[in-house]
Amino acid sequence: MKTALFSLAVVLFSSASWPVQAASKFIEIPVGGWDPGMQIRKQHEDSIVDWIRRVDVHPEALSDNVIEVDLFDAIVRLKRTAGPQLNAAPDPVYVPAGTDAGAVAAMPSARLRWTGTMASTSTSTSTSKAPSSCVDAERAVRITEAADGQLRAIFDIGSFRYELQDGVLIRKDFRRLPREAPVRDVSPDALDAVSSDDVEQEAKSTVRVLFGYGTTALGDDREVVFAEMREAVCLANESFSHSGIKVELERVANVLSGYQETGVTQTLDDLVAGRRGALGVMHQVRDIEKADIVLMIIDTGPSRSVCGQSQRVLATKETAFAVVERNCLGATTSSLAHEIGHLFGADHEPANATVLPPRFSYGHGYKAPENAPGRWRTLMSYECSGAPCGRINLWSSPDLSHNGLPAGTKETHHNVRVLNETRGVIANFYPEP
C-alpha cells in the first residue's frame, strides 16, 4: 500500500515552565524487526487501520514521571499527572440489576498504571485547525493493565490514533471513517417550530443528555470511552458557543447497559422500542435523570458501515434518540454533534438532504466552493466528492465565516437559525418543576 505523506497535528502542553527531565523509554521500535506476523495482522484488520507493528514495551519505565514513546512517525514525551484531567465531578453510572448486565458491574475497569499528558514531540506541530480547549481538558493518556497483564494505551495525534495492545502498536486514520447515515424516520410529522422572535431574548437552553454504552464500546477500561464522550460533548458545546447558538449540552449519567451491539441501525431500533425493548433500561434511567436526549455509543469494529444515526429530523420526546460509533466521537468527524443536530431539526447539505421536502427550507449544512483553498464543510454536511474537505466545528450561517468565506446562506444554509428556533422545544421535554 502506498503510504501518503501527512502532517501530524498535535495539541501540545507548553514545556517552557518545566525543567528538562530525562525520560524513560516506555515504547521502542524493536531491533529485530517490527512485523507482527500474518495472524496478528488479520486479527486487527479494519478499513481505518494503516498498520500494525510489533514494539518493545518496558513496564519498568512507568515508575518514572517522564516517559518516552516511539510511535514510528513521532517520538512523544509524556509527563505524569496526578490523575484524570477532569473539569467536573464524575457523572453517575447506572448498571441494570437482575439481568445479564449484572456481570458488567462485576467487571472492574482495567487497572490504571500511569496517566499523563503530551509534553513534547519530535513531529511538526503545524495545523490548519485552531487548538481546542476540549482536548486540553479531557485527553489525558492512560496506560492501563488488562486482566491478562498486558499494558494498553491510546495516543491521539491529529486525525491519527495509535493504540498499544498486547505488544503491538496499531495506527488508525480517522479520516477514512464512513459518513453518518440518513435519519431513520425520513418523513416525520410536521411540527410547529418556535419562532426566532420568541427565543431571541431567552437565556441559554440546557439540554440534558443520557449516554448508554454497548459492551464492546466499553472495552477494558470504561474511563477511556467516558473521556472520549466528554471531549465530544465539549466539542459540541464549543461549536454552539462559536456559532452563536444558545444551547449547552449537559451530561446527566452513563448507563452500562449490558447490550451487545451489532450495528448502528439495529441499536437505534432497539432504543426506540421503549421499555420493553432490548434497551429498556435506557428509558428507565431517562425518566429518573430527566434526560431530553438519549444517545448510545457503540463499537462494531471493522463491520461498521456508518458513523452514526438519529431517529428523525426535529425530534419529539418519543423520538429524541441517536447512536454514534465510538471511533467517530472525535474532532475528525464530530458525529455526536452531527446526530444531535438532526434531533434539533438540522439537515445535511441540499444534495444529500434527509427529508424532502425539507423540514426547514433554510436548515441545511454548507460546503465551501470547489475552488476554495483548503476546502471545508460545516457540521451537518457530508464529505465532498473528489478532493476531501475537512469538517469544521461550526454550524452553517451567513453570519459566520471561515478562512475569509461565509459559512452559509440566509435562504438555504442556516443551521444556526434552526437550532436557535427549536432549542426550547428540545430542552423542555422534561420541564423544570
pLDDT tens for residues 273-291?
999 999 999 999 999 999 9
Show me where the domains of the chain are located: 24-176, 196-427
pTM of structure: 0.86
Specify the pLDDT at position 123: 59
Q: pLDDT (tens digit, 9 = 90+) per residue, 118-177? A: 877 665 433 345 556 786 544 578 899 888 888 999 999 889 999 999 899 999 999 999
CB-neighbour burial class of residue 107 (10 A; exposed 0-12, middle 13-18, buried 19+): middle
CATH 3.30.390.50 fits 196-427, yes or no: no
Nearest to 290 by CA among 136, 426, 97: 426
Give the pLDDT of residue 172.
96
